[in-house]
Structure 1
């Protein structure tokens, strides 16, 4: 059944960007030169377009490290009166180095690096950041650091912090996006809604922390169970949604495929995860809805799935 669902699902979700955990993820190896290297030779190094900065080691005190950036060298060689190159060409690199660079460890969070970078004086604020490690030096551009911070903020604003799944707004946006892509065509969009049975009783009997652990584990299990092209999100406190796009098929096939996806997800979360007390592990209510060929509407799909989910809850209550 999994292979059949995977064959039917079409991937339309936007590609995720890689999350940056620390500045080490941004750092690139940087050339280290001695402080006595003539500036004329340093200028030759910067003719390589990929070189944005170099680290400078003090030949008289090897523990002391500085930096020369491309912008800093250009400014020095230009000079106030245009004679910088003639004056500096034979002088040592140490004369144009910044001996108070921002140096961080590879495990430093990008948010901390960004805060420290922005605290520098205006003329040094956007200089590269040196990243130290026992084996080599690296450098990260402040522009990359700031982009990573913005990406992290965007990630936090769209993802549920407990389950790491997209939140309600992001999930419904993704559903509308899928519907827009198939509107006017023969392909179908499927929405499966799931919620935890007796979540309030679970919290009351075992504590809020236990409930959070269950929700986080369920989210991981749901995400791992999804066929290629499907996506999941947390849309309520105890509710999840699964999105899928199916190729052209008739109404009977669409209904069968939507229900197959619903059963597929339920089957993958039915048994308790290792380490969870079976008395804590909940069952899920689930219902599916699928779009009419050529007329996918996100609001209508949500309404249909919610009505079916309410009927499924009532039916379970009578058992």
Structure 2
């Protein structure tokens, strides 16, 4: 199993390199530090506290080193092969039951890097806590917390577009299907707004892909700002976005007016050129809207109809990048 976890950690490392939120210091908890000369019997008393899973051990012999004692390792040592471990060790110093080569990392280390190193340790130490230093204080993080953080990171990466932070295509259509399932019993309607950014190929050719990416990022940021409460946005293609909304029970005319008001509000936030980008790099946006009948909605049908209307809208207008 640890091989699969190591693979997961390595898979996430490259993506997390630019994301400073996945730092091990955010998972770490303060750890108790004791001297290496403390008797093992006193060390056992420390572990009677249910919230103590590990203890850091500072070498009293003058050597600049820090060790680790895990609850399970101490319990195993005190039991001993023949059951006499406690009698043998109780008066001996804590250094005799200390692991003097624990994994020690900085608070600014990424969770994925630390998890990779943790899973590479020998089998007897693979799931020991990791000591976290920095700012003059010691802390620890458990292998279980590292794995939970990795799984959460991977889950977020699978549902969020890495460039814009919006929901991915698959996640967006899944959210649309969820909304459609809910309208059957409520009499509400589901609305879909598709937005197609025109001329992105020309922007990339004229100004380079970094500028094109910056355009998409700003569009996504503005889109998020423009959304009324209850709406969701996703990036469903390279230069295409979708907005999902649920309308309250209303007649067809009211639904048409409501969806058009939503579309106009969104487009209004996207029209003005960016001050941070070249003036001719800011694109126009084609839109299409579609909404379900009251009390019934089919996600696939909504997407097909919106795509059809968007294609019709695009063919009806000249491309400014081709006619300029």
TM over 0.5, yes or no? yes
Question: Partner of 1:163 in structure 2?
Answer: 164
Q: Distance in 2 between matches of 1:123 and 1:191?
A: 54
Question: Partner of 1:14 in structure 2?
Answer: none
Question: Partner of 1:283 in structure 2?
Answer: 284
- What pairs up with 1:44-193 in 2 under 5 angstroms? 44-61=45-62, 63-193=64-194
Question: Partner of 1:4 in structure 2?
Answer: none
CA contact (8 A) 1:20 1:26 kept: no
Could you tell me how far 1:318 is from its partner in structure 2?
9.2
Superimposed CA distance per residue, residues 88-147 of structure 1 (whole angstroms, 9 cap, x where no aligned partner):
222222211111000011111111111111111000000001111122111111111122
Gap change, CA 1:85 and 1:284, over 3 Å in 2: same
Aligned length: 301
Question: Partner of 1:242 in structure 2?
Answer: 243
Q: Which has the higher contact order (CA 8 A, sep 6+)?
A: 1
**In terms of mean alpha carbon deviation, does 236-245 or 173-182 score higher?**
173-182
Question: Partner of 2:15 in structure 1?
Answer: none
Gap change, CA 1:251 and 1:135, over 3 Å in 2: farther
Q: Distance in 2 between matches of 1:229 and 1:129?
A: 42
Superimposed CA distance per residue, residues 39-88 of structure 1 (whole angstroms, 9 cap, x where no aligned partner):
22222221222211111111223621011111111111211111222222
Query: Secondary structure of 2:279's partner?
Result: coil
Question: Partner of 1:9 in structure 2?
Answer: none
CA contact (8 A) 2:106 2:132 kept: yes
Gap change, CA 1:119 and 1:254, over 3 Å in 2: same
Q: Which runs of 4+ in 1 moved over 4 A?
A: none
Q: Distance in 2 between matches of 1:264 and 1:63?
A: 63
Unaligned segments of structure 1, at least 5 residues? 1-18
TM-score, normalised with respect to structure 1: 0.88
Could you tell me how far 1:267 is from its partner in structure 2?
1.1
Q: Distance in 2 between matches of 1:256 and 1:47?
A: 67
Could you tell me how far 1:20 is from its partner in structure 2?
5.0
Unaligned segments of structure 2, at least 5 residues? 1-19
Gap change, CA 1:28 and 1:172, over 3 Å in 2: same
Q: Distance in 2 between matches of 1:187 and 1:89?
A: 71
1:211 aligns with 2:212: yes
Q: Distance in 1 between matches of 2:245 and 2:124?
A: 51
TM-score, normalised with respect to structure 2: 0.87
Q: Distance in 2 between matches of 1:33 and 1:260?
A: 66
Q: Distance in 2 between matches of 1:135 and 1:249?
A: 62
Q: Distance in 1 between matches of 2:154 and 2:221?
A: 22
Gap change, CA 1:86 and 1:161, over 3 Å in 2: same
